[in-house]
Structure 1
Amino acid sequence: MVTWALISLDAFSLREPLLAWLKSWVTAELRFQSLHMSLGAVLAFALTIWVAVLLSRFIRFLLEEDIYDRFHFNRGSSYAISTLLHYVVLLGGFLIAIAALGVDMTKFTVLAGALGVGIGFGLQNIVNNFVSGLILLFERPVNVGDVVQVQNDVGVIRRIGIRASIIRLFDSSELIVPNGQLISDKVTNFTLSNRQRRIEINLGVA
């Protein structure tokens, strides 16, 4: 298919003009205030992010389908490892994409500083929940599959996300709890060290 297209372009003397047009299009400069970058750099940025996402998904698939079963990881440990590797791969991909974009790192530092000011004023809760999510993954006071009690709600942790965790209650409803609450508030984990539990049933006597 590609060979046929190249032969057709050569037959009509369109190959060189087309390549010249593509080169001029890719090297066209884009300006955003003080930032200057080529369209090719923007495409390289997007491609790098896309590859990082695909790589992260492939690694998680490989771990879940082969590694975890082979080495008998429990559900909580496997989820923590997969999530942490997901964040690491995406962060590495983002840094490589920034380098491919050709952004001056001094300007990027200024942008990061401005973002830090924005975090200080309006994104404190979001950052707190994100950091709390990382703490949950590293320290693992609660794991996916654990039976926990948050205030008066008892259920099973189904997911530990970036900002919040999902607990499925015993009536099949799902409770969304900010990660910061799981760190700062009192949480009872009924299955932290073992899966054995005692149940008290009150029986009336006629």
Structure 2
Amino acid sequence: VDEIFPADGENILVLFADIEPPRIKCPSVKERIAEPNKLTVRVSWETPEGRDTADGILTDVILKGLPPGSHFPEGDHKIQYTVYDRAENKGICKFRVKVRVRRCGKLNAPENGYMKCSSDGDNYGATCEFSCIGGYELQGSPARVCQSNLAWSGTEPTCAAMNVNVGVRTAAALLDQFYEKRRLLIVSTPTARNLLYRLQLGMLQ
């Protein structure tokens, strides 16, 4: 509000309305890549300030999105800052935080077998271990790792039916075959409820 005194002595009040919005500049954040065995990236930046011709520097900014210093998951994340001056004029800036997780192609469990993977199963640094059901033996790599070149280490595993010679003279000779194949044969004796022998295969460490 300005007060003007003209020559005739009468006071005139002149009102100036603040209609110019404040300015706010968002930071520039480059694409981030997750570390091995990680699915998130910690991203930090300086909180921006608003600047207004009438009110000067404005530090009371409103954030929409994850705050700086957060662990951002894979994907494209929108961040927005809003600032108001005393006349309720609004300034806005927007930017994106992009996080990429390096991945190998997905693996599958072998037929007649199982697969157990760490982390997300196909991200850089993940390890997948393979095993077979009873009566089958693993051929190929028992474990594979997603490497920095985004290729899996080792060779594709398969589960092949065990070739056991049953035409042997002694039980010891039969069991020796399982030992050579690093398999443990567990034989459960018959019970009153179940008169049959039960066989169970395990893996020797």
TM-score category, normalised to shorter length:
under 0.3
- Given the two structures, how large is their TM-score scaled by the length of structure 1? 0.23
- Given the two structures, how large is their TM-score scaled by the length of structure 2? 0.23
Flag the structure with higher helix content. 1
Structure with greater Cα Rg: 2
